[in-house]
Structure 1
Amino acid sequence: MSPSDELVNACLMPGFLGDRVPGWVTDALGAGLAGVCLYGHNLGAGAEPAADRVRSLTDALQAARPDALVAVDEEGGDVTRLEYLTGSSYPGNLALGVVDDVALTERVAAAIGADLRRAGVNVDLAPSVDVNSDPRNPVIGVRSFGADAAAVGRHGVAAVQGLQAAGVAATAKHFPGHGATTVDSHLGLPVIDADEETFRRRDLPPFAAAVGAGVDLVMTSHVVFTALDDAPATLSRRLLVDLLRDELGFTGVVVTDALDMAGVRAAHGIAGAAVRSLAAGADLLLLGAEDGEEHCADVRRAVEQALRDGQLTEDRLAEAAGRVTALRARLAAAGSAPATADRDAGQVAARAALRPRHAQPLSGPALVVELRAGANMAVGHAKWSLAEPLDARGLLAGLVTVGADGPAPEAALAEASGTPVVLVVRDAYRSAWQRDWLQRAVAARPDATVVALGMPDDLDLVSGPALATHGAARVLTEAAADLLAGR
């Protein structure tokens, strides 16, 4: 292995397929690989709790390299890995922003951090400190603390402090802001045409606050800010060095958003984007959810060529590797896992986040209709259900699941005469078929209770009894079920 390969390995964080650590990962860790990122598909199936499955993976990873970075996207709420199979015990950012109690946000983050530590995870790719300034945003939504930059900054700082007090490195993302986009960077390259004054007022303050609070990592976005650079932030020295390092004073690890996302992969490929990102000032390359063995090899070859042709310098590569290595050493020396997580924090926050509109306790078991559309790739197939907690409280008369192909409202409600109806939606305002379905259903049953498990914008589509939970986490659906049960 060449000296440059050793430096590259220190900057790589791939994913892998399957629910066991493959041999190539343990070999690469022995050769200096920085660490790995775990995804929902690594949890497999069966009755064992997801956190226990994560622990079995992290045990294997840290047996191969005790100071390995093990990262997950554990935002709480809709984006969870430890509770991917059951739904999260903690509300996500929007719910916390609605409650607007920074001490409670820090308490929730500390509880998440405690769960992560016990599972052997030492890097949380959270919190999102994007300001959700465009309600059409297809990928942020309930992952943001809200639309006010100052409030997002306050809660972002609280989340960073809570996670890092638990011994988990926090990651402020997606620098310098993904909240004003109308394109999902998993699927394309978002472009924000705001002028620099608007950007500095609207998008930048929460990142400045997180840096000031000592956040360990900052994650780049695959987003173009035309007022600052023609390149997406992940590939922009203007943003990663001139702005983040020199102006904001960030001294920690700059980690890329996943390089398998179309926002950078489509134009450059994973290896090409990796080289450009390192040259622009990134330190840790998150390669994405695919099996990373060949991607790691491709990046090593591409970096070797870039060193030869002068696109990348060995000093820049060594600087990046040094920052990542220092983070690994500090986390490895952090000591034992904290005490049992404060699960009450999630329940307190979930109850406080509920916003009923003329909603009354159900008079008896209800027909529950859940409109289900595909979630974005950050959320994945994490579980959500309102029918299950209602059933546990004796309030489920039946369940109808509705997709884009039906059934129609008239058919779904045909057997509900004399039975209470609960209509469950999750960002219905984003799609024509869901808007139409919901409005037809409410016209047929104006007494139905509409429960919005996504953005509260859904409640603007209809009048009548309704409830906004500000997320689909299990703790939020249980709180909603309690309210509907009159508890």
Structure 2
Amino acid sequence: MFFTTKKAILASILLLLAVAAAIGLYFWEIPTTKNTTSSTSSKETAMIEESKPAKPTVEEQLKTIISDMTLDQKIGQLFLARVPETNQIEDIKTYHLGGYLLFGRDVQNETTESLTKKIASYQEAADFPLLIGMDEEGGTVSRLSQNENILKEPFKSPQAIYQADGLEGIKTDIDQKATLFKQLGIHIGLFPVADISTDTNSFIYNRTIGLDVEGTSQYVVEVVKELNKNHIGSTLKHFPGSGETQDTHTEIVRDTRSLEELKKNSIPPFQAGIEAGADSVLVSHNIVEAIDKHVPASISPKIHEILRDELKFNGVTMTDDMDMNGLSDFISQEQAALSALKAGNDMILSSSYQKQIPVIKSAVQSGDYPEAQLDESVLRILTWKHKLGLISLN
């Protein structure tokens, strides 16, 4: 009996020890098991992440869009066309235009509501979002100022604002313009004027800030920064600077200044604006003899080489209005746009797009205007549109 009881007790003790050992081993192994599982999961997650394709860049996504565009669509993107008097909607569809530039006649008798609807109707007709522009320097060049229904008090000239309130006044003016532009659906106002003029008798004087090189450069930088802050496109004009020459609206103009003078007293505000983040540069129709004495700047490869190679500008280059006598008296409208593109412009400001686009298309098809160069220009334009919020990407 004793031995039986003893054996039973011993068996019970051994059983308890075995259970205790098992429990201890279980708890001892729990942290190890958890760490191993966690480590394995981290490695597996890392491997999965590495196997995922990298998200395409903005440039890659835009290039994909371009690769799916027809030749007609790509060529159309190169035109910031003056709104035609008739067939506004039809021409957007037919020529796949990149944008519309509104003038005084386009806002005449409109209200804020009706003009907003008109611009929206243009966008609805487009394959790709339109860049809507309006010359709104202020003062003598302000299209909206012609309509009291839209603007109770005309935008003052930058010079008048600066003289009254300095650069802070300039910033306030830009904020006001930006608010109105966004309400209407306008993306660019084709300013600031980066030309330098201190001669009150010069045709360009009233459109400039009226200061020297340093003052003009500072003005341009502040305007570009303020426009960027407001997500409104900036345009430096009229490269490489008008100086105190005549008006290319009315005649062929030759700029006889030396290259040294241009680099010292004309180009610096453009360089400052580019370094501040300017979106676009508008090239003049002046024949700048120190750089290219044979053709107007707008159709001169040498002028554009300075912009790209020396000033390192990577944004959109555009011509001044193709209809101005400084160019139209020099070359036919049919050939002018093609010459401008071959020279290095990305965008054409034109009323004659109907007869210019077929010439460009033929040049691409024959290899006279390389499609690779066309694609580069379209990429710059779409990049600008994306920056302004017109093109959404993943």
Within the candidate set 114, 120, 125, 2:179 is matched to 114
Tell me which residue corresponds to 1:93: 158
Give 1:296 shift: 2.2
1:152 aligns with 2:209: no
Give 1:333 shift: 4.8
SS in 1 for 2:345: coil
Tell me which residue corresponds to 2:279: 216
Give 1:120 shift: 0.6
Tell me which residue corresponds to 1:104: 169
Distance 1:3 1:64, change over 3 A: closer
Tell me which residue corresponds to 1:11: 78
SS in 1 for 2:141: coil
Distance 1:188 1:149, change over 3 A: same
Tell me which residue corresponds to 1:232: 296
Distance 1:324 1:176, change over 3 A: same
Give 1:312 shift: 2.0
1:245 aligns with 2:308: yes
SS in 2 for 1:124: coil
Distance 1:191 1:97, change over 3 A: farther
Give the letter for the 2:269 counterpart.
P
Judge conservation of contact 1:67–1:332 (CA < 8 Å) in 2.
no
Within the candidate set 125, 131, 146, 1:84 is matched to 146
SS in 1 for 2:140: coil
1:123 aligns with 2:123: no
Tell me which residue corresponds to 1:54: 115
Judge conservation of contact 1:43–1:53 (CA < 8 Å) in 2.
no
Take 1:15 and 1:272, find their aligned partners in 2: how far apart are those partners?
18
SS in 1 for 2:237: strand
Distance 1:8 1:229, change over 3 A: same
Percent identity over paired residues: 26
SS in 1 for 2:285: coil
Give 1:22 shift: 2.5
Equivalent positions of 1:28-47 (< 5 A) are 28=94, 32-45=96-109
Take 2:381 and 2:314, find their aligned partners in 1: how far apart are those partners?
11
Take 1:226 and 1:130, find their aligned partners in 2: how far apart are those partners?
17
Deviations 1:131-184, CA, capped at 9 Å, x for gaps: 11444322x221100140111111111112222222210111111112321x21
Within the candidate set 218, 225, 231, 1:167 is matched to 231
Judge conservation of contact 1:97–1:151 (CA < 8 Å) in 2.
no
Judge conservation of contact 1:153–1:206 (CA < 8 Å) in 2.
yes
Judge conservation of contact 1:171–1:216 (CA < 8 Å) in 2.
yes
Judge conservation of contact 2:224–2:276 (CA < 8 Å) in 1.
yes
Deviations 1:279-334, CA, capped at 9 Å, x for gaps: 111001110xxxx4xx2231122113333565422211111111112212232358
Tell me which residue corresponds to 2:28: none
Give 1:195 shift: 0.6
SS in 1 for 2:338: helix
Take 1:52 and 1:156, find their aligned partners in 2: how far apart are those partners?
32
Take 2:265 and 2:194, find their aligned partners in 1: how far apart are those partners?
12
Give the letter for the 2:131 counterpart.
L
Distance 1:209 1:53, change over 3 A: farther
Q: Which has the larger radius of gyration?
A: 2
Please identify, of 32-41 and 261-270, the stretch whose mean Cα deviation from structure 2 is larger.
261-270
Within the candidate set 260, 263, 278, 2:323 is matched to 260
Deviations 1:228-263, CA, capped at 9 Å, x for gaps: 1122110111111x2111111111111111111111
Judge conservation of contact 1:21–1:57 (CA < 8 Å) in 2.
no
Judge conservation of contact 1:110–1:165 (CA < 8 Å) in 2.
no
Length-normalised TM-score, structure 2: 0.75
Equivalent positions of 1:296-335 (< 5 A) are 296-307=353-364, 310-333=367-390
Q: Where in structure 2 are there 5+ consecutive unaligned residues? A: 1-68
SS in 1 for 2:137: coil
Length-normalised TM-score, structure 1: 0.61
| Bigger relative CO (Cα 8 Å, ≥ 6 apart) | 1
Deviations 1:25-46, CA, capped at 9 Å, x for gaps: 3424xx632111000011233x
Take 1:44 and 1:103, find their aligned partners in 2: how far apart are those partners?
31
Judge conservation of contact 1:185–1:223 (CA < 8 Å) in 2.
yes
Tell me which residue corresponds to 1:482: none
Deviations 1:186-217, CA, capped at 9 Å, x for gaps: 11121110111111111111101110110111
Tell me which residue corresponds to 1:270: 333
Distance 1:304 1:90, change over 3 A: closer
Take 1:64 and 1:5, find their aligned partners in 2: how far apart are those partners?
16
Give the letter for the 1:285 counterpart.
I
Distance 1:261 1:109, change over 3 A: same
Tell me which residue corresponds to 2:124: 63
Give the letter for the 2:142 counterpart.
T
Give 1:63 shift: 1.8
How many residues matched? 319
Tell me which residue corresponds to 1:421: none
Equivalent positions of 1:450-465 (< 5 A) are none
Tell me which residue corresponds to 2:197: 132
Judge conservation of contact 2:174–2:223 (CA < 8 Å) in 1.
yes
Give the letter for the 1:194 counterpart.
R
RMSD value, Cα: 2.3
Take 1:105 and 1:42, find their aligned partners in 2: how far apart are those partners?
26
Please identify, of 125-134 and 195-204, the stretch whose mean Cα deviation from structure 2 is larger.
125-134
Judge conservation of contact 2:81–2:349 (CA < 8 Å) in 1.
yes
Give 1:70 shift: 0.3
Tell me which residue corresponds to 1:178: 242
